[in-house]
Chain A
Amino acid sequence: MATLARLQARSSTVGNQYYFRNSVVDPFRKKENDAAVKIQSWFRGCQVRAYIRHLNRIVTVIQKWWRSFLGRKQYQLTVQVAYYTMMMNLYNAMAVRIQRRWRGYRVRKYLFNYYYLKEYLKVVSETNDAIRKALEEFAEMKEREEKKANHEREEKKRDYQARKMHYLLSTKQIPGIYNSPFRKEPDPRELQLQKAKPLTHRRPKVKQKDSTSLTDWLACTSTRSFPRSEILPPINRKQCQGPFRDITEVLEQRYKPLEPTLRVAEPIDELKLAREELRREEWLRNVNDNMFLPFSSYHKNEKYIPSMHLSSKYAPISYKEQFRSENPKKWICDKDFQTVLPSFELFSKYGKLYSKAGQIV
């Protein structure tokens, strides 16, 4: 307790003393602190630099080892690759050598044989030549045939011409135009004319029935296939001056159709021919049966009324019985007489008397 009392007694001085002492030290305190920091920083700097230097040295060692390791590894690899490529090149070269030999052999043996090709081309060109020749011959033959046909046609035409001009042939008295007396030899035409037979007169055309002509017309479809009349006499010609006959009369005479004798004009078996013709037409025309009938045959349906004389009970004797003996035993043959009409002398001269040709009589 005494101590406490002592301390309490000294407390006021202690306070003063503390203040006094602090105020004495204060001016040096900052300076000392700065100095301490400086010293410490220098020391610590040295320490860290030494440590870093140490570390660098160690790192270099590590890197040296590591890099050398990598480098060695890389080198190993490069060497391997180089070796490999070298070997591959060698192998390839060898393979090419083998392939070259093999391919050459194979192509020559199986695919492309030069000699075979040469042979083939030779054969082809030979075939070509042969074909060319054959075709040439063929064409020539065709041409020859055509020429021959042409020649024949010409010949025919010339013959026809000669027959047509036969009237130019020279007679004993009068030389023809091709047989000039001033020349040594007659014209070749003259010889031709001598050989030729004169043309006969043209027959008048048989007039065809309308129905056949129409079918003909239908059968061919050309423009000019309509039934046409023959050449018409020229109209509109002026009357000639002088004592001439009327022109129509002259033309009528000029274009007068041939008038055959009755005997020539009408054939003996006309009926048979007509029937034949009718049947042929029927067969040819086979149009449908229910054809429109022309009105001109209208009176066909009329009933035939016999004349009074024929309808008497004393029938007229038949024609043939007029000439024959009634007794059949006297007959030479039992066939009927055939009726053949004799020609009339007068009628056969008909027409000839008027023409110039009548002088033949």
Chain B
Amino acid sequence: MSQRQVLQVFEQYQKARTQFVQMVAELATRPQNIETLQNAGVMSLLRTLLLDVVPTIQQTAALALGRLANYNDDLAEAVVKCDILPQLVYSLAEQNRFYKKAAAFVLRAVGKHSPQLAQAIVDCGALDTLVICLEDFDPGVKEAAAWALRYIARHNAELSQAVVDAGAVPLLVLCIQEPEIALKRIAASALSDIAKHSPELAQTVVDAGAVAHLAQMILNPDAKLKHQILSALSQVSKHSVDLAEMVVEAEIFPVVLTCLKDKDEYVKKNASTLIREIAKHTPELSQLVVNAGGVAAVIDCIGSCKGNTRLPGIMMLGYVAAHSENLAMAVIISKGVPQLSVCLSEEPEDHIKAAAAWALGQIGRHTPEHARAVAVTNALPVLLSLYMSTESSEDLQVKSKKAIKNILQKCTYLPALEPFLYDAPPNILKHVVGQFSKVLPHDSKARRLFVTSGGLKKVQEIKAEPGSLLQEYINSINNCYPEEIVRYYSPGYSDTLLQRVDSYQPLNN
């Protein structure tokens, strides 16, 4: 009888612990409770419960800790300061899969906030055990471990290097080949975060044979997996020509282009990013993209979406056009210029406008034909207004000015140049007048048109310092016309005529 009573006390205690830890875990899911929990000293209580004899209590305590640490970096730091991590890492190796999952969750929640916290995890020796967890039988454990590794690796190159040194990359590549979509997703994003820091890290990812497996999965119907895979491929290919060629050799063209038609915005964005990262390296790679019809697909993609999703596509067009005049011509015949000028005038954000302006400048700077193609779409006045507007950012002003200059210096399409005579600032007017001075001596029809449209009059009104380049251009324009006409259109000519009338003495006597 008495023995039973004694044992009942123990049973009650165990029940109470279970209940406490479950309630804390539940409460920790709501952000508004967290401060109260912290003030109540939950951290030290949970720490002791992590060492509990009952596995479920341990697991639940770890879960509660993870949720707390997930909330903000102060709590994550508190977890680190309480010396909980070594304990977790120690038991991560030995306990069952539920505990492993919960412990990996805590590590992930701590490591995601800052490089220092991630470094603290690495210092505890967690990487080796996490890598061992990647070999676990249970996909849930693998996923949790891959996720934790991803959050550690994403901060900087040193942490990524530490993850690579722990031997995570081959196991992550194996994880990609697992049937579970969630695991694939996390493993792909972990590889992406590892590869993004430096060429060497990207090279280790490539050496582990990740690219072929990633490339195979581009056609997967799951949108989230697709966008992680595309991001991983673009992070690999962004570093150097060799890596980009490796990615291209995995035969991602023209399969990638189907992703540009996807419903999901992120998939579109990452697909354009991938194409951009490949095209930016060399003219040959750009040519390859053009030959695969990538430019047309990207242009269609730009047309079908809004905002930031457009940005990589716009930049890709700029990179392709910058490489050579033939590639720029290919962009033009793919009807890229109207799309870009639509972006330029429609997009509300400055950085996208700046990218579009830059791309237009790259397209128009090669030959008069290119410049004409840009000028015909009426992009120049828009660029000018962006340059003149006080609301545009500094970067946008600089980019649009450069684009205007690049295009104007090649442009011989006079109807597009004419409006610039009236509302361009002197530093741009110089180039406009320069273009007129180059074209007019050789084109009689244009000379006539220039007079009738009032251009000559406007040129006479320009105030130029004697001896400057502008004055020289004006003189060479004036030399194309008879002196009477020039004088007739000079400002103040009528006054002088009237004065002559006044001073004239009639010869009647």
A residues neighboring B (CB under 8 Å):
117, 120-121, 124-125, 127-132, 134-136, 138-139, 142, 214-215, 218-219, 221, 223, 226, 286-288, 291-292, 294-296, 298
Query: Are A295 and B11 CB-contacts (below 8 A) given A128-B296, A130-B293, A286-B96?
Result: yes
Partner of B334, one of A125, A130, A214: A125
What string of 1s and 0s marks CB contacts (under 8 Å) between B277-293 and chain A? 00000000000001111
- For this complex, 7 residue pairs linking A to B, each with C-beta atoms less than 8 Å apart, are A121-B333, A127-B292, A128-B334, A132-B293, A135-B258, A138-B258, A221-B63
Q: Does B314 count as interface, using CB distance less than 8 angstroms?
A: no
- Is A128 within 8 A of B293, CB to CB? yes
The CA-CA distance from A129 to B14 in the complex, in Å, is 71
Q: Does B33 count as interface, using CB distance less than 8 angstroms?
A: no
Give the interface centre of B56, B63, B105, B295 by most chain A CB atoms within 10 Å. Answer: B56
A219: chain B residues within 8 A (beta carbon):
98, 140
Q: Given A121-B329, A128-B295, A129-B296, output 7 extra A-B contacts at Cβ < 8 Å.
A: A117-B329, A125-B334, A128-B293, A131-B257, A131-B292, A132-B300, A295-B8
B293: chain A residues within 8 A (beta carbon):
127-128, 130-132
Partner of B254, one of A131, A221, A288, A294: A131
- Is B55 within 8 A of A121, CB to CB? no
The CA-CA distance from A208 to B180 in the complex, in Å, is 27
| A-B residue pair count with CB separations less than 8 angstroms | 83
Interface size on B, residues (CB 8 A): 43
CB distance from B108 to the nearest CB of A (A): 12
What string of 1s and 0s marks CB contacts (under 8 Å) between B358-378 and chain A? 000000000000000000000
Query: Are A125 and B333 CB-contacts (below 8 A) given A131-B257, A135-B257?
Result: yes
- Is B296 within 8 A of A132, CB to CB? yes
User: Would you list the 7 A-B pairs with minimal beta carbon distance, nearest first?
Assistant: A131-B293, A128-B296, A295-B7, A139-B261, A127-B293, A218-B98, A223-B29
| Closest A residue to B67 using CB positions | A221
B333: chain A residues within 8 A (beta carbon):
121, 124-125, 128
B504: chain A residues within 8 A (beta carbon):
none
The CA-CA distance from A307 to B261 in the complex, in Å, is 82
- Is B55 within 8 A of A295, CB to CB? no
Q: Tell me what chain A mostly uses at the interface: helix, strand, loop, or mixed.
A: helix
B105: chain A residues within 8 A (beta carbon):
221
Query: Are A131 and B55 CB-contacts (below 8 A) given A121-B333, A298-B7?
Result: no
CB distance from B230 to the nearest CB of A (A): 16
| Residues 291-308 (chain B) with a chain A CB within 8 angstroms | 291-297, 300
| Closest A residue to B52 using CB positions | A292
CB distance from B479 to the nearest CB of A (A): 25
Partner of A288, one of B63, B96, B102, B330: B96
The CA-CA distance from A138 to B259 in the complex, in Å, is 10
